[in-house]
């Protein structure tokens, strides 16, 4: 069984980091990508528009009860947690902040780990707190594959370092090599 989804968590410096990864992925990339990027609760749709213009995949804010499908990147909307249900449908929540954040990376990662188990790839990128480390640990416990941006290539290294400290990471990869690593992993099912 191959990979069925990718989850990415980012914070400080994440907009540019996401662009660098997503711009190398082909239009027919065969798995959905779900992203929790720490953003202001009052943010407009700028991040989705920016990334959609920068890559071949379709990037947009996730909507309640839609099915995550290949060729799409789903962003957590401002002030909502993004979750994946066991049937692969998306759920949004306004429950309490986790690690001071809504959307929380941990919330996305933990729900996706339960939904996809070993067919999930989880990625922690640049950020200035520890959000994502517990979720990446859960992905590892469910036998999914874990990737962390090399802290030396991160605008803010706290989040990658926390993730590395929390679990046994499969790949610690420079930012500019993560997109190509994803292509290789997906093609080598």
Query: For residues 31 and 5, is the Cβ–Cβ distance under 8 A?
Result: yes
pLDDT digits (tens, 9 = 90+) for 21-36: 999 999 999 999 999 9
Tokens of 20: 């660098």
CATH class, domain 5-187, is alpha beta
Catalytic residue among 10, 11, 99, 104: 11
Q: What residue spans define the domains of the chain?
A: 5-187
- Phi, psi for residue 12 in degrees, rounded to 5: -50, 120
Average pLDDT over the chain reads 95
Catalytic residue among 10, 99, 106, 131: 131
- pLDDT, residue 1, reads 52
Catalytic residue among 38, 81, 106, 140: 38
What is the DSSP annotation of 121-148? EEEE---SS-TTHHHHHHHHHTT-EEEE
User: Is 106 an active-site residue?
Assistant: no
Whether the predicted model's global pTM rises above the 0.95 cut:
yes
User: Is 171 an active-site residue?
Assistant: no
User: Is 119 an active-site residue?
Assistant: no
């Amino acid at each position: 069984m191959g990979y069925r989804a990718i989850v990415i968590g980012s914070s400080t410096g994440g907009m540019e980091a996401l662009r660098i990864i997503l711009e190398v992925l082909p239009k027919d990339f065969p798995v959905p990508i779900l992203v929790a990027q720490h953003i202001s609760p009052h943010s407009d749709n700028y991040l989705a528009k920016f990334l959609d213009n920068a890559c071949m995949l379709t990037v947009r804010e996730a909507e309640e009860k839609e099915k995550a499908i290949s060729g799409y990147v789903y962003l957590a909307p401002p002030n909502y947690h993004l979750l994946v249900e066991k049937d692969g449908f998306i759920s949004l929540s306004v429950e309490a902040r986790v690690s001071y954040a809504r959307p929380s990376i941990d919330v996305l990662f933990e729900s996706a780990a339960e939904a996809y188990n070993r067919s999930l790839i989880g990625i922690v990128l640049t950020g200035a707190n520890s959000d994502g480390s517990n979720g990446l640990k859960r992905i590892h416990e469910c036998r999914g594959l874990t990737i962390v941006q090399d802290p030396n290539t991160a605008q803010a290294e706290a989040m990658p370092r926390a993730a590395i400290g929390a679990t046994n990471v499969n790949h610690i990869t420079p930012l500019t090599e993560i997109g190509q690593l994803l292509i290789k992993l997906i093609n080598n099912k």
